[in-house]
């Protein structure tokens, strides 16, 4: 298949690298010449570094880069079999672009969007042939992250779903199937990792360093929530939270935090600006964690049970299968365990008890327990069999 990629930002160039690496001719399109040049130079630098380490050969690099054709004209997509869009997360812009692409591509070309949280059905509705549109959500950096969420819109044909998933599987990615609901699997289920940590901070229960310590040292996450938000960018993380909150009709479970909004407004975006929850200036002193085990366990229990509750609710609403939900969280965001398997390990009764304690304390709908957890606790069920 000939692959088109629209957008030469970090995600677009990553997808182009994967496709070219698996032997596809790639048309990489971006109307920003400077962005295109930066991305190609960056990719070339990464590949040559891998050559120096003996992981790939100079011939491989030459062939890979030779398969990527750069252009500023979407007309060049005319003979592509699939075009993957990886541009700004703006529904109006995406719909406009899909309409323009449809005027150019063949009748059989698949049009895929890499959106992380927008409605695939809305994007498809902008097209004359909405059945050809599908969500194919990679995670950054695309060449390294194994997970890809496949999101068929209600209009997507079974043939387009199969062809798209088969293609991404052939790129040695781990694909999971998600319903076209806000945030899909990962960006929905992961919200409490940030949101509940921010809530704990705003209540004054613990500071940034202590929460990060608890979630890494006691819970086993690779990065604490505040380190991760600084890495992602507070502006980006806040917008995703706000988008999911709005899309779920202002469900309090996804309510954004004023702390993050103010940091974004102040330009304290994290690593990229040198300051966020932490100060990244040379010689800066950041607070030390309070390594109190009881406090740390309180933080872990609260954040993890909210994540488990969100994963259970995603299963309850048929967003994805239990296997795909756990796969998405371990392969997409490197969680130490699948959340539903974690619930089995803790015991469903414990999960329900922790949720009910939070609800009793706050009397907020934010802390409502998933009906699935309540039902499973009554019936003594588990998400997976004992030997899984």
- SS in 3 state form for 346-388? HCHHHHHHHHHHHHHHHCCHHHCCCHHHHHHHHHCCCCCCCCC
Query: What pLDDT does 117 receive?
Result: 83
Can you say whether residue 98 is alpha, beta or left, with left for phi > 0 and alpha for psi between -120 and 50 degrees? alpha
Query: In this prediction, what percent of the chain has a pLDDT beyond 70?
Result: 99
Paired tokens of 208: 């940034």
Question: Does 3-180 match 187-388 in CATH topology?
Answer: no
Q: Which of 119, 164, 187, 309 is catalytic?
A: 187
**DSSP helix/strand/coil, 201:** helix
- What is the domain partition of the chain in residue ranges? 3-180, 187-388
> Domain 187-388 adopts which CATH fold?
1.10.1040
Q: Which of 119, 137, 264, 309 is catalytic?
A: 137
Task: Give me the chain's average pLDDT, please.
Answer: 96
Tell me, yes or no, if 234 is annotated catalytic. no
Rounded Cα gap, residues 241 and 280, in angstroms: 24
Q: Which of 116, 164, 197, 370 is catalytic?
A: 116
CB 338 within 8 A of CB 329: yes
Query: What pLDDT does 312 receive?
Result: 98
CA nearest to 150, candidates 170, 132, 176, 126: 176
Query: What pLDDT does 273 receive?
Result: 96
Tell me, yes or no, if 149 is annotated catalytic. yes
Residue 387: which pLDDT band, with cuts at 50, 70 and 90?
low
Rounded Cα gap, residues 256 and 264, in angstroms: 12
Higher-pLDDT residue of 243, 300 = 300
Residue 380: which pLDDT band, with cuts at 50, 70 and 90?
very high
For residue 213, what are the contacts with CB-CB under 8 A and spacing of at least 6?
Answer: 224, 289, 290, 291, 296
Rounded Cα gap, residues 212 and 300, in angstroms: 10
Rounded Cα gap, residues 180 and 95, in angstroms: 16
| Residue 86, pLDDT above cutoff 80 | yes
Tell me the whole-structure pTM to 2 decimals. Answer: 0.93
Phi, psi angles (nearest 5°) of residue 111: -110, 115
Tell me, yes or no, if 279 is annotated catalytic. no
Q: Which of 85, 149, 196, 310 is catalytic?
A: 149
Q: What is the longest distance spanned by two Cα atoms in the chain?
A: 64
- Average pLDDT score over residue span 257-266: 97
Residue 388: which pLDDT band, with cuts at 50, 70 and 90?
very low
Tell me, yes or no, if 187 is annotated catalytic. yes
> Burial of 98 by CB count in 10 Å (0-12 exposed, 13-18 middle, 19+ buried)?
buried
pLDDT digits (tens, 9 = 90+) for 147-194: 999 999 999 999 999 999 999 999 999 999 999 999 999 999 999 999
pLDDT digits (tens, 9 = 90+) for 289-325: 999 999 999 999 999 999 999 999 999 999 999 999 9
Query: What pLDDT does 372 receive?
Result: 98
Rounded Cα gap, residues 27 and 16, in angstroms: 8
**Pairing mode, if any, of strands 26-29 and 68-71?**
parallel
CA nearest to 341, candidates 385, 297, 296: 385
pLDDT digits (tens, 9 = 90+) for 21-59: 999 999 999 999 999 999 999 999 999 999 999 999 999
Q: Output the CATH code of domain 3-180.
A: 3.40.50.720
């Amino acid at each position: 298949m000939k692959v088109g990629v629209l957008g030469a930002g970090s995600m677009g160039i990553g997808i182009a690298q994967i496709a070219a690496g698996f032997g596809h001719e790639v048309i990489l399109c971006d109307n920003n010449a400077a962005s295109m040049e930066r991305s190609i130079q960056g990719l070339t630098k990464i590949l040559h570094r891998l050559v120096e380490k003996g992981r790939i050969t100079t011939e491989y690099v030459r062939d890979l880069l030779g398969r990527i054709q750069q252009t500023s004209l979407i007309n060049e997509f005319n003979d592509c079999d699939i075009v993957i869009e990886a541009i700004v997360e703006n529904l109006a812009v995406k719909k406009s672009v899909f309409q323009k692409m449809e005027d150019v591509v063949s009748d059989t070309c698949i049009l895929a969007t890499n959106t992380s949280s927008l409605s695939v059905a809305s994007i498809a509705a902008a097209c004359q042939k909405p059945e050809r549109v599908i969500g194919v959500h990679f995670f950054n950096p695309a060449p390294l992250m194994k997970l890809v969420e496949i999101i068929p819109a209600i209009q997507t044909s079974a043939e387009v779903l199969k062809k798209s998933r088969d293609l991404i599987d052939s790129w040695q990615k781990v694909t999971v199937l998600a319903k076209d609901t806000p945030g899909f699997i990962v960006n929905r289920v992961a919200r409490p990792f940030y949101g509940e940590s921010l809530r704990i901070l705003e209540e004054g229960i613990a500071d940034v360093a202590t929460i990060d310590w608890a979630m890494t040292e006691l819970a086993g996450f690779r990065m604490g929530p505040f380190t991760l938000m600084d890495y992602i960018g507070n502006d980006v993380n806040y917008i995703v939270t706000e988008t999911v909150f709005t899309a779920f009709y202002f469900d309090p479970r996804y309510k954004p935090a004023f702390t993050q909004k103010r940091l974004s407004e102040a330009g304290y975006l994290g690593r990229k600006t040198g300051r966020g929850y932490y100060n990244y200036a040379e010689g800066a002193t950041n607070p030390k964690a309070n390594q109190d085990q009881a406090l740390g366990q309180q933080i872990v229990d609260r954040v993890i049970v909210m994540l488990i509750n969100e994963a259970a609710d995603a299963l309850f609403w048929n967003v994805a299968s239990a296997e795909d939900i756990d796969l998405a969280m371990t392969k997409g965001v490197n969680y130490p365990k699948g959340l539903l398997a974690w619930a089995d390990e803790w015991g469903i009764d414990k999960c329900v008890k922790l949720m009910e304690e939070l609800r009793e304390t706050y009397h907020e709908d934010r802390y409502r327990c998933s009906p699935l957890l309540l039902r499973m606790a009554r019936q003594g069920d588990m998400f997976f069999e004992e030997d899984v």
